[in-house]
Structure 1
Amino acid sequence: MTAPTLATGERGRGGNEGRGIRGGSDAAPRRSRTLGRRLQRPGAWFALPAAALLAIFFAYPLVTSLWQSFFATSGGVSSWVGLEQYARLFSDPLIAKSLFNAGLILIVQVPLMIGLAVGLAYLLNQSWLRFRSGFRLLTFLPAVTTLVAYAVVFRVMLATDGGAVNQMLGLVGVSPVDWLNNEWWARVALVAAITWRWTGYNMVIILAGLQAIPGELYEAARIDGAGRWQIFTKIVIPQLRPVLIFTTVTSTIGALQLFDENWILTEGGPNDATLTPVLYLYKVGFRQFDFGYASAIAWMLVVITAIIAIVQFRIMREKP
């Protein structure tokens, strides 16, 4: 009778020890989870100021502008009008004119700028080119100039009487061009200014994409007998697809949000030839003080920008 009792006691002690070991193993993850929660608390406190700023300066104005677009102000009194402000968009000729101008800039300027940026990035990535760093710096310098400063310089340079551009044209026998007072020449001047300002910015992004392409791809293509053009079209462009999508979408958003350049160069003229939706929004909101309609214009622009961006992503996304 004694032996079974001892065995039972040993089994009991062994069972208790086993439970103790299992209990210890369960306690370790519990302690680590508790420690993780304690470590997350300071992170949440550090993130709180940024979250507060985001809520105050982004989320609150966003929701307020949407709510305000359903109201109309008359005599200092706001009244609910529902979708009337949005219905007004379809009958406003200046909305159609501003969208036409933005679409024209989008179709002409964005491909021109991206094409120049790709060409410059490819050239400045060549190992045989001397002073590459200096050329890259010179190309990127326009991107660090302030929008107002460079727009004022362009306005002075493109002046009809005494402007530097017309003076240079006069040296080769070309009569002065009324850059800022003719509808089509004003658009040309605006496209030229935007292209000069943002080509270097996109060039730097594309250059980073070029430098991320493995050198083995170039070597394999040369071994197979591919020429420069084949390497560019069959290797470089496909490898740059994500970068090109990014630069195209951001440039499209920038074209639709254009304000500073056309405001300083022409104030939207002549004859609303350079009027863009954001500039029209500014005039409606801060000159006519029709903030409800200005909010409706802003949300119309948000929807149009989102649709164009989605379409561009679908067209340019990498095929499986």
Structure 2
Amino acid sequence: MNRQRVAWLFLAPALIVLGLFFLLPVIAALALSLTDYDIYALANIHNLRFVALSNYWLLLQRPLFWSALGHTVYFVAIGVPLSMGTSLGAAMLLNSPLAKMKPFFRTALFAPVVTTVVAMAVIWRYLFNTKYGMANYVLGHFGVHPVDWLGDPHWAMPTIILFAVWKNFGYNMIIFLAGLQAIPIDLYEAARIDGASAWQQFRHITLPMLGPTLLMVSILTVSGYFQLFAEPYVMTEGGPLQSTTSVLYLMYEEGFKWWNLGSASAVAFLLFVMMFAVTALMLRLSKRGEGADA
């Protein structure tokens, strides 16, 4: 038996699992998105009809879909820079030779990542409660009137963004910390000898050396933030006035509230196309940046 056959033999179990639990469901969902599969078809498969791209066309004509897309883009546009900036700042603090108790702070800052989203969202819902939440209690000492954090359409999404940044920044922090520790110390010593300030060292050494890490973290963060669901589901249920309804939350409602599984599958594939386009754009921009630097 040659090496190629041995390699395929070892890969076969993993490929079978991926095919059964990933590729097959994706193909089935794509097929469903081309049908009017709903609760009537669920009761009797003979009620199923092939509608081609009608689900996609109807979705693109729905104001709710564009509203949910706007909320998702707003969440990504604000949350991703905040998350990455916070993660990089925390990683630089932990990487500093002046930092003390590094293992403790690494564990404490990473702890929210490994906790259940639903449990943390429930706690944050109480913290930002209008009447007895800790946030309004603190603001009251400064003479600020209580804010309806999760009941006001203007404050609901910023509150969810704040929770998501706190919940997820520890994961990126660990990746950034590994990237910072891989940068040779000699570069910083040579820069200090040449009289470079801390900002110049950060701009001309840290950021360029972290380029591949920044790209990977940005792609992972954007992909994760596009899949906004658990936070509004637990904290606001898509409200108030549908101001926190995301694309994924819309997909959930279409599929499991109204049982329009064909339309829900169409929402999922539209979201996939958007995520793929944004990722491809980020990769192309990064290659252009590398070409310009060269």
Q: Which residue is 2:20 aligned to?
A: 56
Find 2:252's aligned residue among 270, 282, 293. 282
Task: Say yes or no: does 1:69 pair with 2:58.
Answer: no
What's the CA shift for 1:45? Answer: 4.4
Whole-angstrom CA distance in 2 between matches of 1:189 and 1:53: 39
Helix, strand or coil: the match of 2:36? strand
Helix, strand or coil: the match of 1:180? coil
Q: Which residue is 1:118 aligned to?
A: 88
Find 1:310's aligned residue among 267, 277, 280. 280
What's the CA shift for 1:172? Answer: 2.2
AA partner of residue 94 (structure 1): L
CA shift digits 1:131-185 (9 cap, x unpaired)? 2222222211111111111111111111112112112222222111101110111
Q: Which residue is 1:12 aligned to?
A: none
Q: How many residues align?
A: 284
Q: Which residue is 1:203 aligned to?
A: 173
Whole-angstrom CA distance in 2 between matches of 1:36 and 1:206: 38
Whole-angstrom CA distance in 1 between matches of 2:280 and 2:34: 27
Whole-angstrom CA distance in 2 between matches of 1:50 and 1:61: 16
Greater alpha carbon shift after TM alignment, 45-54 vs 192-201: 45-54
CA shift digits 1:92-126 (9 cap, x unpaired)? 11110111001111111111111111111111111
Mapping 1:285-300, distance limit 5 Å: 285-300=255-270
Q: Which residue is 1:149 aligned to?
A: 119
Helix, strand or coil: the match of 2:37? strand
Q: Which residue is 2:66 aligned to?
A: 96
Whole-angstrom CA distance in 2 between matches of 1:153 and 1:46: 45
Task: Say yes or no: does 1:261 pair with 2:222.
Answer: no
Greater alpha carbon shift after TM alignment, 132-141 vs 179-188: 132-141
For normalisation by structure 2, the TM-score amounts to: 0.92
Q: Percent identity?
A: 37
Whole-angstrom CA distance in 1 between matches of 2:250 and 2:237: 10
Whole-angstrom CA distance in 2 between matches of 1:279 and 1:307: 21
Larger Rg computed on CA atoms: 1
CA shift digits 1:22-79 (9 cap, x unpaired)? xxxxxxxxxxxx5646xx54x5444333222211110111001111111113633110
Unaligned runs of 5+ in 1: 1-33
Q: Which residue is 1:185 aligned to?
A: 155
Whole-angstrom CA distance in 1 between matches of 2:244 and 2:33: 25
CA shift digits 1:207-265 (9 cap, x unpaired)? 10000111121122112211111000010001111111111111111111111111000
Whole-angstrom CA distance in 1 between matches of 2:284 and 2:2: 44
Q: Which residue is 1:140 aligned to?
A: 110
Whole-angstrom CA distance in 2 between matches of 1:49 and 1:274: 41
For normalisation by structure 1, the TM-score amounts to: 0.85
AA partner of residue 50 (structure 1): A
Greater alpha carbon shift after TM alignment, 59-68 vs 168-177: 168-177
Q: Please tell me the root mean square deviation across aligned C-alpha atoms, in Å.
A: 1.5
Helix, strand or coil: the match of 1:156? helix
Whole-angstrom CA distance in 1 between matches of 2:121 and 2:252: 18
Greater alpha carbon shift after TM alignment, 58-67 vs 46-55: 46-55
Mapping 1:74-89, distance limit 5 Å: 75-76=40-41, 77-89=47-59
Helix, strand or coil: the match of 1:79? coil
AA partner of residue 203 (structure 1): M
Whole-angstrom CA distance in 1 between matches of 2:197 and 2:107: 29
Whole-angstrom CA distance in 2 between matches of 1:140 and 1:209: 16
